[in-house]
């Protein structure tokens, strides 16, 4: 990992501390996408998904989620929130270690460990990686759904 990337990640973390949770959802989405697949392949769809509803505009914008956020059941939102909090803990818990890794090989090893733990947390919550990333993306592009997710996250944190 280059020093420039480390500085970007560190800068993003400090922005979170000084801003609201919805801004952090966007940052976490980017970090998660990079950890899972890299920027290019995170956007690509690898087949039909139960959360994706076909639409006549899906040909024009095939990489955008086409889900009606009003039809997402609260159980799915709860699954997402549980997974999100686990992924967040993985990233926050290892961020300083990642930023201070002495070599790029060490950084890559830590990134792989974070990725593996995050994938396991998502699966344990009952979601696929694609479902998780779709819901994360929707929370960032649909203000109403983002508020719904932020409220559910806050409620989950209050219950901890």
Residues contacting 24, CB < 8 A, separation 6+: 16
CA nearest 91: which of 130, 124, 122, 131? 122
135 — pLDDT class (breaks 50, 70, 90): very high
What is the C-alpha to C-alpha distance for residues 128 and 117, in angstroms, rounded to an integer? 14
Dump pLDDT digits (tens) for 87-134. Answer: 999 999 999 998 999 999 999 999 999 999 999 999 999 999 999 999
68 — pLDDT class (breaks 50, 70, 90): confident
Distances in Å between the alpha carbon of 19 and those of 74, 85, 91, 128, 144? 26, 18, 18, 29, 19
Q: Residue 128's CB: how many other CB atoms inside 10 A?
A: 14
Dump pLDDT digits (tens) for 15-63. Answer: 544 444 444 454 555 555 545 544 333 333 344 444 444 444 444 444 4
CA nearest 148: which of 74, 51, 67, 65? 74
Secondary structure letter of residue 64 according to DSSP: S
pTM (two decimals): 0.61
């Amino acid at each position: 990992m280059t020093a420039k990337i480390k500085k970007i990640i560190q800068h993003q973390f400090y922005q979170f501390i000084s801003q609201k949770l919805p801004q952090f959802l966007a940052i976490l989405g980017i970090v998660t996408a990079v950890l899972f697949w890299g920027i290019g392949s995170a956007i690509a769809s690898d087949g039909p998904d139960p959360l994706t509803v076909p639409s006549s505009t899906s040909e024009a914008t095939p990489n955008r989620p086409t889900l009606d956020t009003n039809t997402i059941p609260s159980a799915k939102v709860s699954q997402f929130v549980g997974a999100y909090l686990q992924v967040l803990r993985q990233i926050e818990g290892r961020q300083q270690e990642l930023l201070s890794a002495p070599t790029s090989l060490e950084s890559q090893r830590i990134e792989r460990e974070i990725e593996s733990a995050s994938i396991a947390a998502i699966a344990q919550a009952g979601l696929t990686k694609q479902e998780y990333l779709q819901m994360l993306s929707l929370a960032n592009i649909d203000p109403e759904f983002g508020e719904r997710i932020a409220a559910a996250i806050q409620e989950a944190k209050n219950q901890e």
